[in-house]
Chains A and B, each alone.
Chain A
Amino acid sequence: MNKERLVLVGNGMAGMRTIEELLKLEPDLYEITVFGAEPHPNYNRILLSPVLSGEKTIDEIILNSRDWYAEHGITLHTGDPVEHIDRRKRLVRSRFGLEVPYDRLILATGSNPFIIPVPGADLPGVLGYRDIADVEAMIETARGFKRAIVIGGGLLGLEAAYGLQQQGMEVTVVHLLDTLMERQLDKPAAALLKASLEKRGLTFLMEAQTAAIQGRDRVESVRFADGSEIATDLVVMAVGIRPNMALAQSAGIHCERGIVVDDTMLTYDARIYAIGECVQHRGQCYGLVAPLFEQAKVCANHLAKLGYGRYQGSVTSTKLKVTGIDLFSAGQYQGGDGCEEILFQDPGAGIYKKLVIRENRLAGAVLYGDTIDGAWFFQLMREATDISAMREDLLFGQAHLGDSGHGGQTQAALMTDEMQVCDCNGVCKGEIVKAITSKGLFTLEDVKLHTKAAASCGSCTGLVEQILASTLGSDYSTPEAKPICTCTDYSHDQVRAAIREQHLTSLSDCFEKLDWRRPDGCHVCRPALNYYLISTWPAEAIDDSQSRFVNERVHANIQKDGTYSVIPRIFGGETSPAQLRAIAEAAEKYAVRSVKITGGQRIDLLGLTKEQLPHIWKDLTDAGFVSGHAYGKSMRTVKTCVGSQWCRFGVQDSTKMGIELEELTWGSWTPHKFKLAVSGCPRNCAEATIKDFGVVAIESGWELHIGGNGGVKVRATDVLCRVTTPEQVKEYCGAFMQLYREEARYLERTAPWVERVGLAYIKKRIVEDEIGRRAFYKRFLESQKQAQVDPWKERAAGAEAHEFTALKQVNG
């Protein structure tokens, strides 16, 4: 019964991973006590940046909940740092006076952000970037203040800067050297990164040395060595970290740059292990989780008394977690003596790749803009594969090896089972596929839970989703810059430009002028071409119904049994007894099999045969309904809340605004479905911040949001701007929709589109350019004239009758 006592000092990523690994091997060996200086249970520090940028909440990044500790019989003391180790008596003492004896002790105290010792560094408003408290302080500052300076243009500094900007601050990044992220990137890649961050609205001050931070009660400005000054309300120092070894030192444990450990993670005291960023192993300190997790495995192996694990150091790779920027770097990216470099540059497309080769082995890689082959390069590097045979094609990635280059095939399908997908947690493709099939997993969350893939920094999320999709066989359609389909070599953007420039108005024009390989295209290109034609030439192009998916052709949603559903439009979600009665009567008359309230605030009538459609439409349109377009790549719904008409918190009439927006936009065809919502106050009951165009009422008017998305991949909106009148809301909405309709690729929803072109670009076209905005709005209104003809009414009156009747009926 007398278990050995294990104490962990430092409730962070490395320490807790060691405990988890230990529990997997030996769940009952120790009585475990954990001390943490922070008031939280263990959380995913890497995901602080998404918390700062508002893409995640703190609850979402908790790794081990308090319940988890309780379930595993672990005693947890949070908010109470260990301040003393008595190695003779073998006990630790905490700040609040707790004394806990140990048989074995793990030190996992992490590191501290380095604060440059300049005058004023201790002023309120000067922060490091390390923990939840820092992030909370930054978000709090962003609420009341406008300007921020981030000192340090490395990984952490750039993530902090991006996050603060997403919080609405004007951010200047100050860097000592002339290139950003010099520890991970070479100059050309760094220059591309800088340009793209500038496009997103960040300002840079390069080669600037901070001399002093100035201010009376809190920071007011920063002065530089050349005498210049910049006013600011917040300074974040992200200039590096220092292993946190004060506790170990005070206990007389041998330390150099960090706590010195051997290959079994043992310190100079045979009862004390150390792990994580606080340690120095073979002269090396690490600041990324992948190596720390490898250390954790080894340490757990010894704690479990297996005794064979050895840690021999790690090769590390880096990705930057700024939404929409793809960057990968690993190994000796700078090259040098005895190295050769292979380069690829396409500044126009924002792509840069460099591979460093030494003795026929890949020694380093920097990828910018197209990082899809990062995992593969990293594997070649770690396994020291001889690459002489594939040298010529290496740069073009794995997809180009051999002659099996199927278009549209996903990266995941090409990966072998041994290839590592998640670098943080060392998870291979095979493990993920096995978990999906043997455990019946269907969602990303499940895979994270069971395999830990994508559960740390999240940068392999896309790859894991692809593996899910290819293993489960679902067909996610994602648009890309590749050829539209195998009928052509042209990309979506090229075809669209040709349609505009060469004034092509029909499918046969396109096939002929653009040298299509199949005389009548295929099911992939035809719907796209048809959309480009009717959106570019609304008055001239003929909408080809045979190139539309059945739902859009027959104006109802096909169901799995071949029947259809009918969803009439309920403008702004507001209805009336008369409307409800009409729906009820139609539902009864046609023996509708189910009546369902949709997630879009309207009513769905399911289980109708094709022949019934024109008849039920007649009844519905006679009662004043129009089609809800629930079936189309088109404007779907406008969700609203009750707003100021009724709600005690409402500040504007959101229902009326929603109805007006729906009246304005219904019937329009878009590259992908398009949803709107209007909330009456920032409580946001209509969930406007996950819509393609969201409107949130504020005291002074309306806040306009764009690019939100529920569904497979949730994305919260970006704020476009604030306006004061309903007329402006409509103008901005129409203009935004028109920009989207004219420029996004077919099947590209606003969320990925906004990420691709950048918020700054959309602001430039819609907010900053008043004349341009008006022109967009005008074109939108113009094309709505053609679009707002109710397709149901036409068909109820006999249009396209062949669609809804059998060619012939025979008995027997």
Chain B
Amino acid sequence: MTAVDDKTWLEVGTLDEIPRQGARVLKREGGDIAVFRTAADEVFALLNRCPHRGGPLSEGILYGRNIVCPLHNWCLDLASGEAKEPDEGCAPAYATRIEAGRVFVCTEPN
């Protein structure tokens, strides 16, 4: 993570502001980013556009490290953004880190 230029790390809020097994949205011109929090309090970030037909991933049901798109049930891996078989596609993923309860997202995709 240190390899990334410090300027691209953006503080988005505190962990408490994101519901467990849920998501909140970081609004920005280059495309909204969904910031997810798993049951185990890990944080992940994906571009908020399903690779299938653009569904808002932030509104899906989250389990384990997976997010299920609300429009047609594609299931994506939160860490990589890759769709699970048999579907094919990938949502750009962004690095995240938590420091003292505050959540940072790297706004350059991995």
Binds B, one of A67-75, A323-331, A545-553, A641-649: A545-553
CB of B62 within 8 Å of the partner chain: yes
In B16-66, which residues have CB < 8 Å from any A CB?
17-22, 24-30, 32, 35, 38-39, 53-56, 59-64, 66
CB of A235 within 8 Å of the partner chain: no
Mostly, the B contact residues are: loop
**Residues of chain B with a CB closer than 8 A to A518's CB:** 63-64
**Residues of chain B with a CB closer than 8 A to A545's CB:** 19
Docked Cα-Cα span, A75 to B21, in Å, equals: 70
A sample of 7 inter-chain contacts (CB < 8 A) reads A520-B38, A521-B63, A546-B21, A806-B32, A807-B25, A809-B27, A812-B29
Partner of B12, one of A519, A807, A811, A812: A807
Q: Is A810 in contact with B10, judged by CB distance below 8 angstroms? A: yes
Q: Is A560 in contact with B27, judged by CB distance below 8 angstroms? A: no
**Residues of chain B with a CB closer than 8 A to A521's CB:** 63
**Residues of chain A with a CB closer than 8 A to B38's CB:** 520
A residues near B (Cβ < 8 Å) are: 475, 518-523, 526-527, 545-547, 549-550, 553-554, 558, 560-562, 802, 806-812
**Residues of chain B with a CB closer than 8 A to A807's CB:** 12-13, 17-18, 24-26, 35
Q: Is B70 in contact with A558, judged by CB distance below 8 angstroms? A: yes
CB of B68 within 8 Å of the partner chain: yes
**Residues of chain B with a CB closer than 8 A to A547's CB:** 21, 61
Docked Cα-Cα span, A522 to B30, in Å, equals: 31
Q: Is B21 in contact with A523, judged by CB distance below 8 angstroms? A: no
**Residues of chain B with a CB closer than 8 A to A519's CB:** 39, 64
Most interface-central of A520, A527, A549 (chain B CB within 10 A): A520
Q: Is B26 in contact with A806, judged by CB distance below 8 angstroms? A: yes
CB of B71 within 8 Å of the partner chain: yes
Residue of A nearest to B18 (CB): A807
Docked Cα-Cα span, A114 to B64, in Å, equals: 67
Docked Cα-Cα span, A522 to B71, in Å, equals: 16
Docked Cα-Cα span, A560 to B73, in Å, equals: 13
Residue of A nearest to B37 (CB): A546
**Residues of chain B with a CB closer than 8 A to A811's CB:** 28-29
Q: Is A810 in contact with B39, judged by CB distance below 8 angstroms? A: no
Q: Is A560 in contact with B53, judged by CB distance below 8 angstroms? A: yes
**Residues of chain A with a CB closer than 8 A to B56's CB:** 558, 562
**Residues of chain A with a CB closer than 8 A to B59's CB:** 550, 553-554, 558, 562
Known contacts A519-B39, A807-B13; is-contact A546 B61 (Cβ 8 Å): yes
**Residues of chain A with a CB closer than 8 A to B39's CB:** 519-520
Instruction: Categorize the interface residue count of chain B.
Output: 35 or more
User: Could you list 5 further interchain pairs (A-B, Cβ under 8 angstroms) beyond the known A523-B68, A806-B27?
Assistant: A522-B66, A546-B62, A553-B59, A554-B59, A806-B25
Q: Is B61 in contact with A549, judged by CB distance below 8 angstroms? A: yes
Docked Cα-Cα span, A558 to B70, in Å, equals: 8
Residue of B nearest to A548 (CB): B61
Docked Cα-Cα span, A562 to B48, in Å, equals: 11
**Residues of chain A with a CB closer than 8 A to B71's CB:** 558, 560
Docked Cα-Cα span, A305 to B28, in Å, equals: 75
Docked Cα-Cα span, A527 to B21, in Å, equals: 13
Docked Cα-Cα span, A518 to B68, in Å, equals: 15
Docked Cα-Cα span, A667 to B29, in Å, equals: 39
Docked Cα-Cα span, A546 to B23, in Å, equals: 10
Q: Is A802 in contact with B73, judged by CB distance below 8 angstroms? A: no
User: What's the least CB distance linking B67 to chain A, in Å?
Assistant: 9
**Residues of chain A with a CB closer than 8 A to B55's CB:** 562
Docked Cα-Cα span, A811 to B30, in Å, equals: 9
Partner of B70, one of A475, A549, A809: A549
Most interface-central of A527, A546, A562, A808 (chain B CB within 10 A): A808
Partner of A520, one of B21, B25, B72: B21
Q: Is A802 in contact with B61, judged by CB distance below 8 angstroms? A: no
Q: Is B19 in contact with A546, judged by CB distance below 8 angstroms? A: yes
Known contacts A806-B26, A810-B10; is-contact A562 B54 (Cβ 8 Å): yes
Q: Is B60 in contact with A550, judged by CB distance below 8 angstroms? A: yes
Residue of B nearest to A473 (CB): B72
**Residues of chain A with a CB closer than 8 A to B12's CB:** 807-808
Residue of A nearest to B73 (CB): A475
Q: Is A546 in contact with B20, judged by CB distance below 8 angstroms? A: yes
Most interface-central of A519, A545, A807, A812 (chain B CB within 10 A): A807
User: What's the least CB distance linking B90 to chain A, in Å?
Assistant: 19
Q: Is A810 in contact with B28, judged by CB distance below 8 angstroms? A: yes
**Residues of chain A with a CB closer than 8 A to B10's CB:** 808, 810
**Residues of chain B with a CB closer than 8 A to A562's CB:** 54-56, 59
**Residues of chain A with a CB closer than 8 A to B62's CB:** 546
Residue of A nearest to B56 (CB): A562
Q: Is B22 in contact with A546, judged by CB distance below 8 angstroms? A: yes
Residue of B nearest to A547 (CB): B61
**Residues of chain B with a CB closer than 8 A to A808's CB:** 10, 12-13, 26-27
**Residues of chain B with a CB closer than 8 A to A554's CB:** 59
**Residues of chain B with a CB closer than 8 A to A802's CB:** 17, 19, 24
**Residues of chain B with a CB closer than 8 A to A812's CB:** 28-30
User: What's the least CB distance linking B55 to chain A, in Å?
Assistant: 7
Closest 3 A/B residue pairs (Cβ): A807-B24, A523-B61, A550-B59
Known contacts A562-B54, A807-B13; is-contact A522 B63 (Cβ 8 Å): yes
User: What's the least CB distance linking A564 to chain B, in Å?
Assistant: 10
Most interface-central of A523, A549, A561 (chain B CB within 10 A): A523
Docked Cα-Cα span, A553 to B28, in Å, equals: 24
**Residues of chain B with a CB closer than 8 A to A561's CB:** 54
Residue of B nearest to A563 (CB): B56
**Residues of chain B with a CB closer than 8 A to A553's CB:** 59
Residue of B nearest to A487 (CB): B63
Most interface-central of A519, A521, A562 (chain B CB within 10 A): A562
Docked Cα-Cα span, A691 to B58, in Å, equals: 35
Residue-wise, chain B 70-85 has the 8 Å CB interface mask toward A (1 for contact) of 1111010000000000
